[in-house]
Amino acid sequence: HVHRLARRWGLAPESANVRVVEQHLSALYPEDTWGKVHLQMIYFGREWCQAKVHVPSDCPVCCWVGKGGTPLSAEAIEKMV
């Protein structure tokens, strides 16, 4: 989930592999929040931003990211779930 969502949300390049995504996310979020951000992204992805049945306009993040948004803070991700 994290790999897919990070690329879908523009937190890492679309062509990024798992390691590159990890590097990007590690640079964006403080180390003491990594575990929480990881779990929040997983839960959010399961509920709102699924791989197969994805409607970007229904996703609170995808509909926003398409409008030139910036990377989300750990607090913003936490509030989504």
pLDDT in tens, 4-48: 999 988 888 889 999 999 999 999 999 999 999 999 999 999 988
pTM greater than 0.75: no
Kindly tell me if the per-residue pLDDT of 66 is higher than 60.
no
Kindly tell me if the per-residue pLDDT of 68 is higher than 50.
no
Contact 10, 25 (CB under 8 A): no
Q: In Å, how far are 1, 21, 28, 29, 32 from 68, measured between CA atoms?
A: 22, 20, 17, 20, 28
